[in-house]
Amino acid sequence: MLFKFSNQILAAKLNLEKPKKEFVSSKIVTDSRKISKGDCFLALKGPSFNGHDFIDEALDRGASFVISEKNHPQDEKILGVNSTHECLSFLAKYQRKKFEGKVVGITGSNGKTSTKLLLSSLLSDKYDPSQVYVSPGNWNNFYGLCFSLLELKKHHKFGIFEIGTNDFGEINELSSILQPEVGVITSIGKAHLEKLISLEGVAQEKSDIFKNVLLQGTCIFPDINTHLSEFHAKSHDKEIRSFSSDGLNAKKSNSKCVEAILVSLGIENISFDQIYNLSKDVVVPSRTEQGYNSKGVLIIDDTYNANPDSFKEAFRVLDSTDKENKICVIGDMKELGTDFQQEMKKIIDEACERFDYVFLFNSKFELSKENVVKINIANAEEKIGSLLSKNTAILFKASRSVKIEDCMNIFK
Shared domain check, 262 and 178? yes
- 298-302 and 392-397 strand pairing: parallel
**pLDDT reported for residue 13:** 92
**pLDDT reported for residue 247:** 65
* Burial class for 72, CB neighbours closer than 10 Å (0-12, 13-18, 19+): middle
Total H helices, total E strands in the chain: 15, 20
Read off the CATH number of the domain in which 64 is found: 3.40.1390.10
Shared domain check, 67 and 35? yes
**pLDDT reported for residue 368:** 72
Q: How far apart, in Å, are the Cα atoms of 1 and each of 148, 154, 211?
A: 11, 8, 27
Rounded Cα gap, residues 327 and 245, in angstroms: 28
Q: At a CB cut-off of 8 Å and minimum separation 6, what does 237 contact?
A: none
**Strands annotated E in 255-397:** 289-292, 298-302, 325-330, 357-361, 372-375, 392-397
Residue 243, domain member (yes or no): yes
Residue 154, domain member (yes or no): yes
Rounded Cα gap, residues 20 and 63, in angstroms: 18
Question: What is the domain extent for residue 50?
Answer: 5-86
What's the angle, vertex CA 356, arms to CA 305 and CA 245, rounded to 5?
Answer: 45
Residue 387, domain member (yes or no): yes
Residue 28, domain member (yes or no): yes
Rounded Cα gap, residues 109 and 259, in angstroms: 19
Rounded Cα gap, residues 339 and 333, in angstroms: 10
What's the chain's Rg over C-alpha atoms?
24
Per-residue pLDDT of the chain (412 residues; tens, 9 = 90+): 888 899 999 999 999 999 999 999 989 999 999 999 999 999 999 888 899 999 999 999 999 999 999 988 888 999 999 999 999 999 999 999 999 999 999 999 988 999 999 999 999 999 999 999 999 988 899 999 999 999 999 999 999 999 999 899 999 999 999 999 999 999 998 877 778 889 999 999 999 999 999 999 999 999 988 899 999 999 988 999 999 986 678 889 999 999 999 999 999 899 999 999 999 888 787 778 899 999 999 999 999 888 898 899 899 999 999 999 999 999 999 888 888 889 999 999 999 999 989 999 998 887 777 779 999 999 999 999 999 999 999 999 999 889 999 999 999 8
**pLDDT reported for residue 334:** 86
Rounded Cα gap, residues 234 and 207, in angstroms: 6
> What letter represents residue 319's amino acid?
D
Shared domain check, 252 and 113? yes
Read off the CATH number of the domain in which 384 is found: 3.90.190.20
Eight-state DSSP code of residue 72: S
Residue 91, domain member (yes or no): no
* Burial class for 370, CB neighbours closer than 10 Å (0-12, 13-18, 19+): exposed
Residue 92, domain member (yes or no): no
Count of other CB atoms within 10 angstroms of residue 131: 15
Count of other CB atoms within 10 angstroms of residue 89: 17
Shared domain check, 195 and 113? yes
User: Minimal CA–CA distance to 139: which of 177, 101, 90, 189?
Assistant: 177
Shared domain check, 66 and 112? no
Out of 246, 279, 312, pick the residue that ends a domain.
Answer: 279
**pLDDT reported for residue 1:** 82
Out of 279, 299, 325, pick the residue that ends a domain.
Answer: 279
pTM for the full predicted model: 0.81
Out of 279, 305, 339, pick the residue that ends a domain.
Answer: 279
User: Minimal CA–CA distance to 330: which of 407, 250, 393, 409?
Assistant: 407
Eight-state DSSP code of residue 216: T
Residue 14, domain member (yes or no): yes
Domain count, the chain: 3
User: Minimal CA–CA distance to 412: which of 286, 315, 307, 318?
Assistant: 286
Shared domain check, 188 and 52? no
Residue 93, domain member (yes or no): no
Shared domain check, 248 and 167? yes
Shared domain check, 387 and 242? no
